[in-house]
A and B are shown apart, each in its own frame.
Chain A
């Protein structure tokens, strides 16, 4: 028995609804009525199933229809065509703090929000202390929430929301709240839901989270279900084609193209082409180039940045004193990073080929190659530092 079954699901919005507020007087005008007939499909022809206890990730660029899909499953949006059938109680972590009332205290809002989420009052009363402690806001509970910082606001909302005990949980981009420590607590809670056999539909731009948590991933673009399957494959396809093609990445390519980077592929320890690498294991980058003419002493360079632009590492063949006499025609440059000491996250690889004196840039690909890193351990941070402990008792 499946927890969620969507069959040819589609949602159309009328243009009128998108372009400003309709008015009673306006509805008498002909132009307005014609505008109302134009349709825009936010989602169309989506068919998928989610078995019980399965976590499904939904990824895609902004405005691709991910949120509409969650809305349809949650029942807040009525489908224009197709059907969605769900089994069991649904709760959604869609909008944190929806229904918070600014003048009321944190305590009142806990009860209010719990009621909105369908958590029985008795449960909230019993779990009240746990909720407050989870949010870490004990001394602020009698203060009106309008005086809260935005971080406090979402922390309280999240703490209430995770008290839900639904059969199906919908999560829309809310795991990225609060500081790192709070995020870890949140992810722990999601893992807890999984252990208890809940079905989860997770929308997120944090691809490493999707990779880490989901059993299956749906890629949605322009309202269409492009691909579904195991996380590594779908994320790979997404990173490889979509993010670059639609200009989601701030990519840049320039150079004289006297030497051209024709193709780049990333390979994991087993030699499989992938965009998902694992901390501590080797990462191989294959650069297929083509030189129009003989180029003396070219320099191959690379750098890696994190998803938010932090420059992690950069080097080139000149710095590493790898002598290259000359290149002509096609060839492959292998770059091996072993072990990959990056921790879980999203990264961008830039590549360049330039002249030995830096006067000519033959081909530079800035942030053109995204990849994600998975980490097997619970250690945190950007880098994996090889650390060893030694206890010397009684000395």
Chain B
């Protein structure tokens, strides 16, 4: 059966799982939602100060670009980290109750999405304020952000499916994921702009092409291009491949996940 269709009778469950996650996140601490905002803000502040100290006033990246990068990056890390325990954290549920297994990682990504949308409510005005201070206006394309959010959500969901299932079979997946995420952070334009890679790859165009196959490079750059006037998105055939391959990979990921989920109850 089509896995998306199979989900329809379980809308309530999905909604409840997302609600449970958000409620327990915001109920537990007095600061509640503030932490969700403060966390990326502090990270962005640290990078900005660090880069200023390291590279002086003429850093290669603007403050608003760092803020956009850190917020977008956080959406993906949050999805991946939370999905590690989507199944291993709910063994009773998986072993005792039948429901499409895809619901658990999906709920994790959706709750990260809700968080991200809430942080965007702060991030977009903040970036607009920085731009206004510099004498420019935030781009009208900002309104197109939801399209990139949708794409990133699908991409995060694929990562979540892989990571959550892998962690059921191999409990040291978390360590590997930790390593990969730190490496990936530096291989994605979070603390630097895409132009840095462009300028570095003079004489080696394949380096930039390779770089553009990283969907996070495209996603983060797209957020910047939509909000900051004058920043652009690479429109090369390689970039197109970079945008498309995660969607095609989704078919494979769904297949593999469907096979893997059959034996979850045996291993948990």
Provide the bound-state CA to CA distance between A23 and B27, in Å.
35
Beta-carbon contact of B16 and A115 below 8 Å: yes
For residue B19, which residues in chain A have a CB less than 8 angstroms away from its CB? 108, 112
A296 interface contact, C-beta 8 A: no
Q: What residue of chain B has the Cβ atom nearest to residue A78's Cβ?
A: B262
Beta-carbon contact of A22 and B24 below 8 Å: no
A120 interface contact, C-beta 8 A: yes
Interface of chain A, main secondary structure: loop
Beta-carbon contact of B176 and A99 below 8 Å: no
Beta-carbon contact of A112 and B16 below 8 Å: yes
For residue B266, which residues in chain A have a CB less than 8 angstroms away from its CB? 13-14, 17, 77-78
B145-178 interface bits toward A, Cβ cutoff 8 Å, 1 = contact, 0 = none: 0000000000000000000001001111100100
Provide the bound-state CA to CA distance between A40 and B76, in Å.
40
Most buried by A among B98, B173, B262, B267: B98
Beta-carbon contact of A116 and B172 below 8 Å: no
Residues from 239 to 264 in B contacting A, C-beta threshold 8 Å: 262-263
For residue A22, which residues in chain B have a CB less than 8 angstroms away from its CB? 169-171, 267
Residues from 80 to 125 in B contacting A, C-beta threshold 8 Å: 90, 92-99
Residues from 21 to 36 in B contacting A, C-beta threshold 8 Å: 23-24, 27-28
A101 interface contact, C-beta 8 A: yes
Provide the bound-state CA to CA distance between A25 and B265, in Å.
22
For residue A116, which residues in chain B have a CB less than 8 angstroms away from its CB? 13, 16, 93, 97, 99
**Could you say which of A88-96, A258-266, A337-345 contacts chain B?**
A88-96
B42 interface contact, C-beta 8 A: no
- Contact check: which of A13, A74, A98, A111 meets B93 at CB < 8 Å? A98
Provide the bound-state CA to CA distance between A116 and B96, in Å.
11
A104 interface contact, C-beta 8 A: yes
A1-29 interface bits toward B, Cβ cutoff 8 Å, 1 = contact, 0 = none: 00000000000011001000111110100
Residues from 5 to 23 in B contacting A, C-beta threshold 8 Å: 9-10, 12-13, 15-17, 19-20, 23
For residue B95, which residues in chain A have a CB less than 8 angstroms away from its CB? 71, 76, 95
Number of interface residues of B (CB under 8 A): 34
- Contact check: which of B20, B28, B263 meets A112 at CB < 8 Å? B20
Q: How far is the CB of B134 from chain A (nearest CB, A)?
A: 44
Beta-carbon contact of B97 and A77 below 8 Å: no
For residue A14, which residues in chain B have a CB less than 8 angstroms away from its CB? 266
Number of interface residues of A (CB under 8 A): 34
A103 interface contact, C-beta 8 A: yes
For residue B173, which residues in chain A have a CB less than 8 angstroms away from its CB? 24
Q: How far is the CB of A86 from chain B (nearest CB, A)?
A: 11
For residue A71, which residues in chain B have a CB less than 8 angstroms away from its CB? 95-96, 265
Beta-carbon contact of A117 and B170 below 8 Å: no
For residue B24, which residues in chain A have a CB less than 8 angstroms away from its CB? 101, 103-104
For residue B265, which residues in chain A have a CB less than 8 angstroms away from its CB? 71, 76-78
- Contact check: which of A77, A103, A121 meets B28 at CB < 8 Å? A103
For residue A51, which residues in chain B have a CB less than 8 angstroms away from its CB? none
Beta-carbon contact of A90 and B176 below 8 Å: no
For residue A98, which residues in chain B have a CB less than 8 angstroms away from its CB? 92-93, 96-97
- Once A75-B98, A76-B98, A99-B93 are accepted as A-B contacts, the answer to whether A115 and B12 lie under 8 Å apart by CB is yes
Beta-carbon contact of A115 and B267 below 8 Å: no
Beta-carbon contact of B15 and A24 below 8 Å: no
Most buried by A among B94, B96, B262, B266: B96
For residue B176, which residues in chain A have a CB less than 8 angstroms away from its CB? 24
Beta-carbon contact of A90 and B98 below 8 Å: yes
- Once A78-B263, A111-B16 are accepted as A-B contacts, the answer to whether A95 and B96 lie under 8 Å apart by CB is yes
A118 interface contact, C-beta 8 A: yes
Beta-carbon contact of A21 and B171 below 8 Å: yes
Q: What residue of chain A has the Cβ atom nearest to residue B261's Cβ?
A: A78
Beta-carbon contact of B97 and A117 below 8 Å: yes
Q: How far is the CB of B246 from chain A (nearest CB, A)?
A: 23
Provide the bound-state CA to CA distance between A120 and B16, in Å.
12
Q: What residues make up the interface of B, taking CB atoms closer than 8 Å to A?
A: 9-10, 12-13, 15-17, 19-20, 23-24, 27-28, 90, 92-99, 166, 169-173, 176, 262-263, 265-267
Besides A104-B24, A111-B16, 12 other CB < 8 A contacts?
A: A23-B171, A25-B172, A92-B96, A95-B95, A99-B90, A104-B20, A104-B27, A112-B19, A112-B20, A115-B10, A115-B12, A116-B99
